[in-house]
Amino acid sequence: MNIFITNDDGYLSYGILGLVDKLSDEHSITVVAPQNPQSAAGHALTMHKPLRIKYYEDLSKKYKAKIYSCSGKPADCVTIGLDEVMDIKPDLVISGINIGGNLGTDILYSGTVSGALEASMMGYKAIATSLDSFELDNMDSAIELVYQFVSNYPIDSIGDDYILNINAPNIPYSKIKGIKVVEQGIVSYTNKISKGKDPSGNEYYWIGGSLIKPEDGQKDVNLIKKGYATITPISYMMTDKDNMKTVSDNLQKLK
C-alpha cells in the first residue's frame, strides 16, 4: 500500500520512526510530520502564516521512506502532505504512534486524532494510533499492534465519515489480551490548574493536572487499563441526533 504517516510528537519521535521502520519493507511510506512536538494541538489549521516543508535525505534513506517535516500542526501536515507533497494518493493515512493515550474526551484536544480526521474529511481512509504511556518501554508493542492491524484489517472497508482511533495498552505485545471495539469514554482530571507567582511577582495560571482513575466500565478509558487494545470509530460529523427533537420541541414552545 501507499501509506502516509503524520503525528503530533514531531518527525523524530520514535513512535513515528519505529513504525516507519516496521512498515517500509512491505509498503511505500511518505512521512510529513511536525518539525516540533505539538501536544494538545487540537484540530488547528495554520492559516495566518506560510508553512515550510523540509525533506530529510539521510533519514529517508535509513528508513526506506520519504521523510519530510512541516513547520505546522498535524492537520497542516495532512493538508499539505496529501495535496502537495505526495504525488500519488495514499491507500491509508496513519496519525501516530502517539506517546500517550488518546482516549475518551481527551481526543478533543488531540493533534493525533485531528490529523486522522483531517485526512478522513479529505476522503482518505485514516487511523489515529497511540500508546497509553508517556514512557517508550512498550512502544515496540504498539508498533507490532499497528503492524498487525495494517497487515490484516480490510483497510478499504473503513468508511468515508469516520476514522479508527486505536490505542495500545502499556504492556508487551504478548500480554495484550485482545482488541476491543468500544465507545469513547469520559476523562477527568484533578488539580487541573496551578496558580502561582513568577519571579517578578506576577500571577500566572498553568493548565495541567493528573488523571482521575476511571471507574469500571466497557469504554476505551476503562479497557485500556485492563490490558486490551481499543479501537473506536470516531466521526467528524458531531451532530447529536438523539437530541435534535428535544431542541426542536423546546423551540416550538416559544413560538
For its own copies, the binding residues in 12-41 under the rule CB under 8 A are 39-41
- Shortest CB 165 distance to its own copies, Å: 9
Rounded distance between C-alpha atoms, residue 17 and residue 65, angstroms:
10
Phi, psi of 65 (to 5 degrees): -150, 170
Site track for its own copies across 167-186, x = CB under 8 A:
------------x-x-xx-x
Q: Which three cell numbers stand for residue 140?
A: 515496540
- Which residues from 121-140 bind its own copies, rule CB under 8 A? 121
- Shortest CB 5 distance to its own copies, Å: 19
- Which residues from 69-88 bind its own copies, rule CB under 8 A? 72, 75-76, 79-80, 83-84
Of 12 and 44, nearer to its own copies (C-beta) is 44
- Which residues from 47-66 bind its own copies, rule CB under 8 A? 47-53
Kindly compute the dihedral angle of the four CA atoms of residues 40, 43, 48, 52, in this order, to the nearest 10 degrees.
80
- Shortest CB 145 distance to its own copies, Å: 12
Rounded distance between C-alpha atoms, residue 238 and residue 227, angstroms:
29
> Which residue in the block uniquely carries the three cell numbers 469514554?
185
| DSSP string computed for 63-107 | HTSEEEEESS-HHHHHHHIIIII-SS--SEEEEEEEES---GGGG
Task: Tell me which residue of 45, 37, 47, 43 sits closest to 14, measured CA to CA.
Answer: 37
- Which residues from 214-253 bind its own copies, rule CB under 8 A? 231-241, 243-244, 246-248, 250-251, 253
- Shortest CB 117 distance to its own copies, Å: 6
- Shortest CB 141 distance to its own copies, Å: 18
Of 29 and 231, nearer to its own copies (C-beta) is 231
Q: Which of 12, 45, 86, 211 binds its own copies (CB under 8 A)?
A: 45
How large is the angle between the packed helices 14-23 and 139-152, nearest 10 degrees? 40
- Shortest CB 239 distance to its own copies, Å: 4
Task: Tell me which residue of 134, 144, 209, 216 sits closest to 173, measured CA to CA.
Answer: 144
- Shortest CB 63 distance to its own copies, Å: 23
Of 63 and 128, nearer to its own copies (C-beta) is 128
Q: Which of 17, 107, 116, 221 binds its own copies (CB under 8 A)?
A: 107
Q: Which of 135, 137, 161, 177 binds its own copies (CB under 8 A)?
A: 161
Task: Tell me which residue of 26, 31, 2 sits closest to 16, measured CA to CA.
Answer: 31
